Amino acid sequence: MDFLSPEEWSAVGLSLRVSFWATLLSLPPGIAVAMLLARGNFPGKQLLNGIVHLPLILPPVVTGYLLLLTFGRRAPVGSFLHDAFGLVFAFRWTGAALAAGIMAFPLMVRAIRLAIEAVDPKLEQAAGTLGASRVMVFATVTLPLILPGVIAGAILAFAKAMGEFGATITFVSNIPGETQTLPSAIYAFLQVPGGETSAFRLVLVSIVVAMTALLASEWVGRAVARRIAGA
Amino acid sequence: MSLDVSLRHAFPGFTLDARFEAPAGVTALFGRSGSGKTTVVNALAGLLAVDHGHARINGTVLFDTETGARIPPHRRRIGYVFQEGRLFPHLTVRQNLSYGRWFAGSRVRAADGDAFARLIALLGIEALLDRRPGTLSGGEKQRVAIGRALLSFPRLLLMDEPLAALDEARKAEILPFLERLAHETEVPILYVSHSVAEVARLATTVVALENGQVVRTGTPVEVLSDPRAVPTLGIRDAGAVIRARVLRHHADGLSELETAAGPLFLPQVAAAVGTWVRVRIHAQDVILSRTAPVGLSALNILSVEVAALRMGEGPGVVVQLRAGEERLLARITRRSAEALALAPGLACHAILKSVAVAQGDVWIEGRDD
DSSP B160-176: ESTTTTS-HHHHHHHHH
Residues B59 and B164 in one domain: yes
Asked if residue B231 is part of any domain, the answer here is no
Which member of A123, A132, A231 has the closest CB to residue B132? A231
Asked if residue B230 is part of any domain, the answer here is no
Q: Is A194 on the interface with B (CB under 8 A)?
A: no
Give me the count of residues in chain A. Answer: 231
Our count of domains for chain B comes to 2
Q: Which residues of B touch A141 (CB under 8 A)?
A: 88, 90
pLDDT digits (tens, 9 = 90+) for B301-333: 998 999 988 887 778 888 999 988 888 999 999
pLDDT digits (tens, 9 = 90+) for B212-250: 889 888 888 888 888 887 877 777 778 888 889 999 999
Asked if residue B285 is part of any domain, the answer here is yes
Contact A104, A26 (CB under 8 A): yes
What is d(CA B149, CA A174) in angstroms, rounded to the nearest whole number?
A: 60
Nearest chain A CA: its distance from B102 CA (Å)? 9
Q: Which domains does chain A have, with CATH numbers?
A: 6-229 (1.10.3720.10)
Nearest chain B CA: its distance from A158 CA (Å)? 27
Residues B179 and B264 in one domain: no
Q: B280 vs A45, B54, B224, B237, B286, CA distance in Å?
A: 57, 36, 9, 10, 12
Contacts across the A-B interface (CB distance below 8 Å): 77
pLDDT digits (tens, 9 = 90+) for B141-191: 988 999 999 888 888 999 998 888 777 777 877 787 788 888 777 788 999
pLDDT digits (tens, 9 = 90+) for A75-125: 888 889 988 888 889 889 999 999 999 999 999 999 999 999 999 999 999
Q: Is A141 on the interface with B (CB under 8 A)?
A: yes
Q: Which residues of A touch B140 (CB under 8 A)?
A: none
Asked if residue B217 is part of any domain, the answer here is yes
Residues B204 and B250 in one domain: no
Range of the domain at B359: 239-364
Q: Is A230 on the interface with B (CB under 8 A)?
A: yes
Q: Which residues of A touch B73 (CB under 8 A)?
A: 128-129
Residues paired with residue B256 on neighbouring β-strands, in sequence order: B248, B265
Q: Please report, for the domain that includes residue B359, its CATH number.
A: 2.40.50.100
Residues B259 and B182 in one domain: no
Which member of B92, B134, B152 has the closest CB to residue A229? B134
Q: Which of A123, A125, A129 to mutate to test the interface with B (most CBs of B within 10 A)?
A: A129
Q: Read off the pLDDT band of B368 (50, 70, 90).
A: very low
Q: Which of B224, B249, B282 is the last residue of a domain?
A: B224
Residues B200 and B270 in one domain: no
Residues B272 and B219 in one domain: no
ipTM value: 0.81
